[in-house]
Amino acid sequence: MKKCMTAGLLPLMVWLTASAAAADAAPFEISGFRFEGASLLGPERLQALVAPFAGKQRGMDDVGRAVAAVKAAYVAAGYPIVQVYAPEQTLGAGTVVLRVSEGRLARVEVQGNKVYSVANVRAALPPLREGEPPNTDAIVAAVLLANDNPARQLAVNFSAGASPAEVDARIDVAEDRVGKFTVSLDNAGAATTGRERIGLGYQHANLFGRDHVLSVQLMTSVQQPDKAASVTAGYRIPFYRQGLSLDLVAAYSDSKSNAVSPAGPLFFSGKGVYAGARLNQALASRGEYRHKLVYGVDYKDFNNNCSIAGIELAACGTITDVPLSVSYLGQQATPGYQAGGSLGYFHNLPGGRHGQQERYGTHPRSWQAWRASAYFAQPLGQWQWRATVNAQYSGEALIPSEQFGVGGAASVRGYDERTAAGDRGASANLELYTPELAPRLHLSERHALRALLFYDAGWVRNSDAAPIASGHLASVGVGLRYSFDKDVSLRCDAGAAQVATAPGANAPRQTNTGFVHVAFQYSF
C-alpha cells in the first residue's frame, strides 16, 4: 500500500500519518484493530475509540477516521506529540494494524537563570522528564504552581528533536530579587486611631533553596503608633511533585481608641490573634482555563475590653471562631479578554478560647456562609474596561468579624472602610482605564501610568432583620495608577458618595461628599 503522512508543527500539534488508497478501491471488511507502540492510553479505551469504524463494507476513509479518533484522544489526554498511522499492510477481511509513535522528551535546557540553580528550576517542573512523553496538561499545571513564587517566573517552550519521535524543551527563567524589603503608606486606617498607616515588610522567596517563601509585615498608625499596631507573618511551602502548596499565616493586632458618647467618654481596646492554613491543589488546565481548589482552616480570637465613663462593659465582642472552608478558583486569559472567579463554602467549627455559646449570644456557633467573586476585563483599542463583583450569602446571623462589609478602597470608594456590614451582601466595581499615558509625558518604558473613571455600589442585609445604619452605598470617581518597574506603585482614587449614610453610621457621609484613597508602596 501507499503511505502518506500529514504533519503539524511541534510543540502543540500532532504528527499524523495515515494509510491511503485510491478513491475507487473496493470496500473491505475490518474485523478489528490492533495497536502497536501504544502505552499511554489503555487498550480498552483504544478499542472503544475505534470500534465504530470496524465492520463490513469499510474503506480507507474508515481507517483514517480511526486514526483521527486515536489522535484526538491523545491530545485530549495531554499528549499531542504523537504520531498515529497505519503501516504498510494487506487489507482484507481481517485486523487493521495502527502504529503509535509516542513522542519522548529528549533534552531539557534552562535559560535565563542567574540566582536560581538549574536543579531548583528543574525541581519545580517534575512533569518534564527526559525519556518520557511530555504531558502538556500536567506541564501547564506545574508551571502555574511554580509561578506562584514571587521572585521567579517560568515558561516552557518545545521544539523538534533530533528524530521525528523526539522533542526538546527549553525552560525560560525570569528572576526578581529573592529577598526584598517593602515600605507602604496608605490612609485606610480608622479615624479614632489615625487614618494614615505605615508598614514595613520583608520577603524571602527561596529559603533553603526550595522555593519556600517567608513574608513578614509590621503596620502601625502614623499619628498614634501606640494605639494601633499589627504584625503579620506568612510562610508558603510548595509540594511540586504532588501539585500542592501550603500557605501558613499568623497575625496579631492591638488597638486602642477613645470617643465621646452620650453616656460619657467611651474607651475601647482590642487584641486579635489569627492563624490560618490554606492547602492549594492545582487542577489540570483546560486550554487557556486555569483552576484550583483551596482547602482552609482559620482560628480567629478577639479579646476586647470597653468602658463608658470608667465603668467596664461586658458585651465588647470578645469571641473566637474557627471556620473551615473549601473554595474553587478559576481564571482564563486570552488576547481578547481576561476573566476569573471564585466560589467558597465556609462552616464554623465551634470551640476555641472564647467560643462558648454565651459569647455568641443569639448568634449560632455553627454558622455557614457562601462567598463568591468574579471579574472580567477587556481591551477597547488602547482603552480598557474592568468589572468586579464580590458577594456573600448566609441565612444565619453572623458575628461581626464574619459579616460582609462594604465601603473603602477595595469596595465602595468614597466611604470609610466597612462603613456598613451585614450577613449577606454584594459589591460591584466598574472601571474604565485610559490608554497608557507615560509615553505622552515622555517617560521611559519603565514607567506605567493610567487614569480611570469608576462607579462602585454595594449593599448589605441581615438575616435576623436587625437594622443596618447604611444598607446601600454607591459612588463615582476618578483615579490614577502608576508604577515604576516592580519597585514603586501608587494608587489614588477620589470617590464621591452618591448615597448618604443613615444617622448613627460609624463613618457618616453626605451625598456628593467623598474621600481620596491613597496607597503607596516601595520595594528595595
Are residues 393 and 322 part of one domain? no
At 286 the pLDDT is: 81
The candidate with the shortest Cα–Cα distance to 156, out of 132, 139, 174, is: 139
Are residues 521 and 374 part of one domain? yes
Question: What span, in angstroms and rounded, lies between the C-alpha atoms of 98 and 84?
Answer: 7
Residue 161 lies in a domain: yes
SS3 231: strand
Are residues 398 and 353 part of one domain? no
All cell numbers assigned to 343: 466560589
The 10 Å Cβ neighbour count of residue 333 is 13
Are residues 321 and 396 part of one domain? no
Question: What span, in angstroms and rounded, lies between the C-alpha atoms of 266 and 487?
Answer: 42
Task: Check: CB of residue 104 under 8 Å from CB of residue 133.
Answer: yes
The 10 Å Cβ neighbour count of residue 316 is 16
Question: What span, in angstroms and rounded, lies between the C-alpha atoms of 139 and 304?
Answer: 49
Are residues 451 and 314 part of one domain? no
Are residues 248 and 143 part of one domain? no
3-state SS of 10-44 is CCCCCEEEEEECCCCCCCEEEEEEEEECCCCCCHH
* Residue that has been written with the C-alpha cell 473549601 in this structure: 326
Whether omega before 134 lies within 30 degrees of 0, making that bond cis, reads: no
Give the start-end residues of each E strand in 161-242: 166-175, 179-186, 197-207, 212-221, 228-239
Which residues, listed in sequence order, are joined to residue 260 by a DSSP beta bridge?
Answer: 265
Residue 276 lies in a domain: yes
Domain range spanning residue 290?
Answer: 240-361
Residue 70 DSSP class? H
The candidate with the shortest Cα–Cα distance to 493, out of 435, 420, 408, 436, is: 408
Are residues 447 and 305 part of one domain? no
Question: What span, in angstroms and rounded, lies between the C-alpha atoms of 219 and 222?
Answer: 9
Are residues 504 and 379 part of one domain? yes
Q: Which of these three, 57, 82, 102, is where a domain ends?
A: 102
Residue 230 lies in a domain: no
The candidate with the shortest Cα–Cα distance to 471, out of 434, 517, 424, 515, is: 424
Which residues, listed in sequence order, are joined to residue 515 by a DSSP beta bridge?
Answer: 495
Residue 139 lies in a domain: yes
Q: Which of these three, 140, 175, 210, is where a domain ends?
A: 175
* β-pair type (104-111, 166-175): parallel
- Domain count of the chain? 4
φ, ψ (nearest 5 deg) of residue 99: -105, 135
Are residues 516 and 470 part of one domain? yes
All cell numbers assigned to 134: 511530555
Are residues 158 and 38 part of one domain? no
Whether the pTM exceeds 0.75: the reply is yes
Are residues 246 and 169 part of one domain? no
Task: Check: CB of residue 293 under 8 Å from CB of residue 278.
Answer: no
Residues with Cβ within 8 Å of residue 78, at least 6 apart in sequence: 135, 136, 137, 138, 284
pLDDT in tens, 139-166: 988 999 999 999 999 999 999 888 888 8
Are residues 518 and 377 part of one domain? yes
Q: Which of these three, 153, 175, 197, is where a domain ends?
A: 175
Residue 8 lies in a domain: yes
All cell numbers assigned to 347: 462552616
Residue 69 lies in a domain: yes
Residues with Cβ within 8 Å of residue 465, at least 6 apart in sequence: none
pLDDT in 10s for each residue of the chain, 524 residues: 333 333 333 332 333 333 344 344 688 999 999 999 999 999 999 999 999 999 998 989 999 999 999 999 999 998 988 999 999 888 776 899 999 999 899 999 999 999 999 999 999 999 999 999 999 888 988 999 999 999 999 999 999 888 888 899 999 999 999 999 999 999 998 888 889 999 999 999 999 999 999 999 999 999 989 888 999 999 999 999 999 999 999 999 988 765 544 445 555 567 889 999 999 998 888 878 999 999 999 999 988 776 555 555 455 678 899 999 999 999 999 999 999 999 999 999 998 888 788 788 888 999 999 999 999 999 999 999 999 999 999 999 999 889 999 999 999 999 999 999 999 999 999 999 999 999 999 999 999 999 999 999 999 999 877 777 668 999 999 999 999 999 999 999 999 999 998 776 667 889 999 899 999 999 99
Task: Check: CB of residue 339 under 8 Å from CB of residue 377.
Answer: yes
Residue 193 lies in a domain: no
pLDDT in tens, 332-391: 999 999 999 999 999 999 988 887 887 888 889 999 999 999 999 999 999 999 999 999
Residue 315 lies in a domain: yes
Check which CATH number belongs to the domain holding 487 and give it: 2.40.160.50
Task: Check: CB of residue 186 under 8 Å from CB of residue 197.
Answer: yes
At 15 the pLDDT is: 32
Residue 425 DSSP class? E
Check which CATH number belongs to the domain holding 20 and give it: 3.10.20.310
